[in-house]
Amino acid sequence: MRKEDDPFRPVHQGEPLFVTRRKTGRVISYRVFSASVFFCICWIWFYRVTIPVEIDENRTSFVPIVWLVILIMEIWFGLYWVVVQSLRWNPVWRFTFTDRLSRRYGNDLPTLDVFVCTADPVIEPPLMVVNTFLSVTALDYPPEKLAVYLSDDGGSELTFYALAEAAEFAGIWVPFCKRFNVEPRSPAAYLSSTANVLDSAVAKEVAELYREMAARIETATKLRRVPEEARLKYSDGFSHADKFASNACAAESEGDFQVLLSEYSPVWYGHGKIGLGLILGYCCFCLWAPSSVPVLVYSVLTSLCLLKGIPLFPKVSSSWFFPFGYVTVAVNSYSLAEFLWCGGTFRGWWNEQRMWLYRRTSSFVFGFTDTILKKLGASESAFVITAKVAEEEAAERYEKEVMEFGVESPMFLLLGTLGMLNLFCFAAAAMRLITSRDGEHFQTMGMQIVITGVLVVLNWPLYQGMLLRNDKGKMPVTVTVKSVVLALSACTCIAFM
């Protein structure tokens, strides 16, 4: 392309649109830390390859196969950890100068698509969502080149109703913002700001219209239902909102994995166009779905081998135990420290670990399986549509931080089976540990006892939903029974092998 044909050629070469800054001290410290972790990961691989597997009356002939599977899983974990380091290895901070954009490109601006994402009208109140939507639609950007989309993973009628109200109000708000150069462009933020003075008749009229719209949305949110007149007015939209409610995690992980396998994969499509670090950064998310399989297999084998009395890790007193202990403690300690540094709490971090486990042993597994079947021509991708429970009761449980189950789902069956399997195996190991007088059992099985014990503690809300709760959000009895039967069957099979 000739230079004069480039519609994005800069007008003012000396004015950068952004500047990039780097911080060295913290980065160097992190690189030293990550290098130590990677050294121990390599140490673990070396242990798996060089230390022979002992076979006796408890360690049956399938143990070498288990050992090989564990090695493959740990190689995957190690390599994926290396991929994730791309997000932290060379962090930069970019500061933009939006006022220079029009001076440089004039009217030759690219088309811009903005996605506003939401998932739960309780966690993210509809009025807050529509304020975000309105602030984006009022951006100082050519309207013919700006498209705004609202993605609601929860398919909530309340969110759709709020959006419908906001779409009508946008016809007034957007021209008002551009005529009077309003800042900030979120109606709630602008009207609550002490800096602006609503001294014109037009401004007061806009403010009154916003308050009326906000009152209607908040009333509907409080009552957990959409006004009947609005339902009739937007009848087609409400039917579509209900139809496309889905399980967002499965769709997200499946979509990322499909991108990885497509012609637009960051691995080959991005080669030569973007740097290696950015390619690896994209792969962190594209590998969510396939990473679920190693997590699932590793957690199952660790628990079943604990039940059988087959050690998968070195003795606690052995020098070979150090890399396993260091990687486990160091990685989780850094994760906690980073979470706290970002303003979180220990309880919040612990809940994040629980959801990390649940996603990778349920929705991500289904996303991975569905993608593979589709590639083989055996299945078509589809969202998993689940029934909804009463929103008011669900909101009350959410405020009490009680997990929501309530409906039958293959994902809940998988989670329930894994949870009961962990519980049965840990209970058997605890009984064996109590009867062990010399402490040799903990020396041999210590790492597996800790891993399975942590899984049991993480699963406590799951056990509550299956065995202790009586509300509508508990796990369905059929799912609980099936989970117990499947877990007991697996334990019985491994015990007699």
Cβ 35 vs Cβ 111: under 8 Å: no
Q: What is the number of alpha carbons within 13 Å of residue 21 lying toward its C-beta? A: 5
Type and span of the H or E element at 335? helix 321-341
Structure tokens at 377: 């021509």
- For residue 151, list its beta bridge partners: 117
CA distance 339 to 280: 22
CA distance 16 to 96: 9
CA distance 245 to 385: 6
> What percent helix, strand, coil does the chain show, rounded to 5?
65, 5, 30
Q: Which residues contact 16 (CB under 8 A, 6 or more apart)?
A: 97, 100
DSSP state of 53: P
Cα-based distances in Å from 245 to 137, 222, 239? 25, 21, 11
Cβ 404 vs Cβ 469: under 8 Å: no
According to DSSP, the β-strands at 92-96 and 112-118 are: unpaired
Length of the chain: 497
CA distance 255 to 371: 8
Cα-based distances in Å from 244 to 117, 167, 220, 235, 276? 15, 20, 21, 15, 37
User: Residues within the annotated binding site for UDP-alpha-D-glucose?
Assistant: 124, 153
Query: Cβ of 426: how many Cβ atoms within 10 Å?
Result: 23
- Closest-CA residue to 226 (of 126, 370, 326): 126
Examine residue 311 and say whether the peptide bond preceding it is cis (omega within 30 degrees of 0): no
User: Residues within the annotated binding site?
Assistant: 124, 153
Write the DSSP assignment of 116-138 as a string of letters: EEE--TTTS-HHHHHHHHHHHHT
Q: ∠ CA 20-82-318 to the nearest 5 degrees?
A: 135
- Closest-CA residue to 82 (of 26, 29, 42, 133): 42
Query: Cβ of 113: how many Cβ atoms within 10 Å?
Result: 9
- Closest-CA residue to 363 (of 454, 467, 292): 292
- Closest-CA residue to 67 (of 321, 302, 319, 293): 302
Cβ 22 vs Cβ 115: under 8 Å: no
Query: Cβ of 201: how many Cβ atoms within 10 Å?
Result: 8
